[in-house]
Amino acid sequence: MSQLRRLPKFEFVGPRSLAEVCALTAEAAAGEVLLLAGGTDAILQMRRRERTPRRVVGLKGVRDLAFVRETGEGGLAIGAMTTLAELLAAPLVRSRYALLCETAAQIGGIELRNVATVGGNVAGALPCADLPPALMALEARVKLSSRRGERWVPLDEFFPEFGRTAARDGELVSEIGLPRPAPGSGGAYLKFHDRHSMDMTVVGVSACVTRDAERGVVRDLRLAFASAAPTVFRARRAEALLRGAALTEQALEEVAEAACREADPRTSWRANREYRQALVRSLTKRAIGQAWAKAAANEGAPS
């Protein structure tokens, strides 16, 4: 019963501010320090001895990383230590970013959402993480902070390969930034999993559609996928097929086919490659259809 094993030994530090965290990560060699956000992935990784850090930096007391607020440009700023429950409760998220609520609500149960953080879901770089596809479809950027300063990386360039992020040399994720959604846009996240809840995503598809109401065509489309390749990714070639086009059966088939070609799913005990391909095909069509319907419902709404 390896899951009942004790955690490997480590030294613990609990900084109170982002500046203190940066000072701690700056001095550390790779693998020596583990940032513990909610810990819902990291504690299990340590229990399995996949990670045996000398020092754990607990972030739960870093309150300047827990916030949800509107930016000067009318977008959204989410602090890395915002829990999924806090995200779901934020009025601005509920009113303007329904896609984020729809997605976060599908992650784990309440016990998990009370501690799991937005930053941990993104920085963990898991291909099956549910928030990154939704955030990518919303054109999120990631703010990386270190003692040297800060820089922004578009989320769709944040996962260079399986399990890795663009963060380097003591950088941590401090904030996720989102632009204000275009008027007449809508989004959907479809997560396929075996059980109704508490299960990892077999394939997840997020679609954001902006309608051109006058011409009755798709003005913009963004598609991003979980568990369909070694990293969460945006299917840019598939998206391009539908821009400026009417949403016909034929067009949807072509987009779904293109998304399949961009996907590179693996075979695991959860599902084999062919099964995941079939899911990508059907969920892509369904997600676009739902996003289109929501975009139509949002038309004229003040967002």
Partner 1 sequence: MRSLVEVTLRVNGIDHEVAIAPWRTLLEVLRETLALTGTKRSCGEGQCGTCTVLVDGKAVNACLYLAIEAQGRDVRTIEGPPQGDPALAEIQRAFAANGAVQCGFCTPGMVMVTRALLAGNPAPNEDEIREALVGHLCRCTGYVQIVEAIQDAAGRLARQEAH
**Interface residue list for partner 1 (CB under 8 A):** 1, 3-4, 6-12, 14, 36, 38-40, 43-44, 46-47, 56, 58, 60-61, 85, 108-112, 114-115, 197-198
Closest to partner 1 by CB, 84 vs 207, is 84
Shortest Å, Cβ 106 to ligand FAD = 6
Closest to partner 1 by CB, 14 vs 163, is 14
Closest to ligand FAD by CB, 116 vs 295, is 116
Residue 117 near which of partner 1, ligand FAD, none (CB within 5-8 Å, type-dependent): ligand FAD
List phi, psi (to 5°) of 184.
Answer: 70, 25
Copy the structure tokens of residue 85.
Answer: 């429950």
Q: Is 29 exposed, middle or buried (0-12, 13-18, 19+ CB in 10 A)?
A: exposed
Residue 47 near which of partner 1, ligand FAD, none (CB within 5-8 Å, type-dependent): partner 1
Shortest Å, Cβ 135 to partner 1 = 23
Shortest Å, Cβ 227 to partner 1 = 19
DSSP secondary structure letter of residue 81: T
Quick one: three-class SS letters along 37-61?
CCCCCHHHHHHCCCCCCCEEEECCC
Residue 107 near which of partner 1, ligand FAD, none (CB within 5-8 Å, type-dependent): ligand FAD
Shortest Å, Cβ 114 to partner 1 = 4
Amino acid of residue 53: P
Residue 120 near which of ligand FAD, partner 1, none (CB within 5-8 Å, type-dependent): ligand FAD
174 SS3 class: strand
Shortest Å, Cβ 62 to partner 1 = 12
- Whole-Å CA distances, 148 to 145, 167, 168, 189: 8, 13, 11, 36
Closest to partner 1 by CB, 151 vs 270, is 270
Residues that bind ligand FAD (CB under 6 A): 34-42, 80, 107-108, 112, 116-117, 119-121, 123-124, 129-130, 172-173, 198
Helix (H), strand (E) at residue 187 = strand 185-192
- Whole-Å CA distances, 220 to 26, 180, 261, 262: 41, 14, 20, 19
Closest to partner 1 by CB, 103 vs 298, is 103
Distance CA 225, CA 263 (A): 8
Shortest Å, Cβ 10 to partner 1 = 6
Cβ-contact 110, 86 below 8 angstroms: no
Closest to partner 1 by CB, 14 vs 160, is 14
Distance CA 202, CA 270 (A): 7
Shortest Å, Cβ 37 to ligand FAD = 3
Task: Give the nearest residue (CB) to ligand FAD.
Answer: 120
The pairing of beta strand 55-58 with beta strand 11-13:
parallel
DSSP secondary structure letter of residue 117: B
- Whole-Å CA distances, 224 to 4, 233, 242, 273: 36, 6, 15, 18
Closest to partner 1 by CB, 39 vs 133, is 39
